[in-house]
């Protein structure tokens, strides 16, 4: 509950993760795939919802921060675009049935607990059409072997390589691009396709 409140409060200022710019990985996906139905899981203020809608996609955006959805709706109105924006929980997706050709997640999955990740993946498989894609960006938790004292993984946001084992074999990894995010944490872009 406190985490949700904290995230919502961030949107009364400019959160550090809200760049207002769609990443090149999403732009490349849009360039190489025909428009269809997309869902942005953890859509924030709607930057990528707008990018997808401008490219002809029918878009649904979900975020648990009411303030973020309020801002996203105002941005869509200014752009004269339509999208289905909802305050909701990505581990439940109540009232959202899909099917979707693309599920986009930039920084949501890695912020969930292991149990929440399992619930999220159950929902993802339910709403993603066979042949549909999951475009995921996540940063990783620090590797304890690189930290003096060999401490275990710290609680908090970030993906552990073991979290990737939760992903069903029906979601085939098509590509992985490793890199570093702004604070020099290891990160990666993943593209999965549902079989």
Tens of pLDDT, residue by residue over 180-190, are 876 678 999 99
Q: Cis omega before residue 34 (within 30°)?
A: no
Split at pLDDT 50, 70, 90, the class of 94 is: very high
Question: Is the confidence at residue 78, as pLDDT, over 60?
Answer: yes
The answer, as to whether pTM is greater than 0.75, is yes
Share of the chain above pLDDT 70, in %: 84
CATH of 2-12+23-150+160-194, picked from 3.40.50.10420, 3.40.50.300, 3.40.50.150, 3.40.50.970, is: 3.40.50.150
Tens of pLDDT, residue by residue over 125-153, are 999 999 999 999 999 987 655 544 444 44
More confident residue, 50 or 142: 50
**So what's the pLDDT on residue 7?**
62
**So what's the pLDDT on residue 150?**
46
Mean pLDDT of the chain: 89
Q: What DSSP line would sit under the chain, residue for residue?
A: -HHHHHHHHHTTS--TT--SS--HHHHHHHHHS---EEEEET-TTSHHHHHHHHTT-EEEEEES-HHHHHHHHHHHHHHT---EEEE--TTT-TT----EEEEEEESSGGGS-HHHHHHHHHHHHHHEEEEEEEEEEEEBPPPGGGSTT-PPPPSSS-B-GGGGGGS-TTEEEEEEEEEE-TTS-EEEEEEEEE-
């Amino acid at each position: 509950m406190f985490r949700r409140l904290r995230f919502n409060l961030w949107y009364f200022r400019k959160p550090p993760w809200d760049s207002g710019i769609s990443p090149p990985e999403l732009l490349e996906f849009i360039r190489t795939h025909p428009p269809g139905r997309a869902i942005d899981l953890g859509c924030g203020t709607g930057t990528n919802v707008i990018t997808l809608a401008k490219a002809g996609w029918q878009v649904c955006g979900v975020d648990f921060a009411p303030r973020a959805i309020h801002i996203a709706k105002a941005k869509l109105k200014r752009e004269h675009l339509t999208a289905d924006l909802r305050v909701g929980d990505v581990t439940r997706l109540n009232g959202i049935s899909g099917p979707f050709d693309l599920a986009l997640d930039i920084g949501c999955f890695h912020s969930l607990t292991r149990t929440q990740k399992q619930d999220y993946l159950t929902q993802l498989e339910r709403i993603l059409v066979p042949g549909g894609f999951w475009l995921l960006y996540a940063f990783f938790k620090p590797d304890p072997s690189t930290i003096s004292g060999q401490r275990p993984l710290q609680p908090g946001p970030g993906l552990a390589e073991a979290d990737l084992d939760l992903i069903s074999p029906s979601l085939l990894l098509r590509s992985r691009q490793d890199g570093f995010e702004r604070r020099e944490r290891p990160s990666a872009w993943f593209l999965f396709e549902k079989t």
